[in-house]
Amino acid sequence: MPFYRYVCKNCGHEKVIMHSMNESPNVVCDVCGAPMKKAVGRVGIVFKGSGFYITDSRKGNGKSSNSGNSETKKEEKKAS
């Protein structure tokens, strides 16, 4: 069963409760007694593998992005 984080609408107190996905319990704040609302959790994302960095998509021997400009200059020379 997953854990769900609830936040009080009145005082901001947070509480974590474990229940099934199909269940929608009425959660009450322990501090002030107001109803609590389900909050979106903070999720950490880690990208692993190739393709996530700008250096992963480069071709060649690591020259700067000016190499694309040299190709356009070659095309201009052919046109003239």
Q: Measured between alpha carbons, how far is 13 from 61 in angstroms, rounded to an integer?
A: 55
Q: Measured between alpha carbons, how far is 21 from 27 in angstroms, rounded to an integer?
A: 15
- Give the per-residue pLDDT at 44: 76
User: For residues 11 and 29, is the Cβ–Cβ distance under 8 A?
Assistant: yes
- Give the per-residue pLDDT at 24: 83
How far is the first Cα of the chain from the last one, in angstroms, to the nearest whole number?
70
Tens place of pLDDT for every residue, the chain, 80 residues?
788 899 998 999 999 989 888 888 899 999 999 999 998 866 777 777 776 667 666 665 555 555 555 555 555 566 65
For the chain, domains (ranges, CATH) are 1-53 (2.20.28)
- Give the per-residue pLDDT at 66: 52
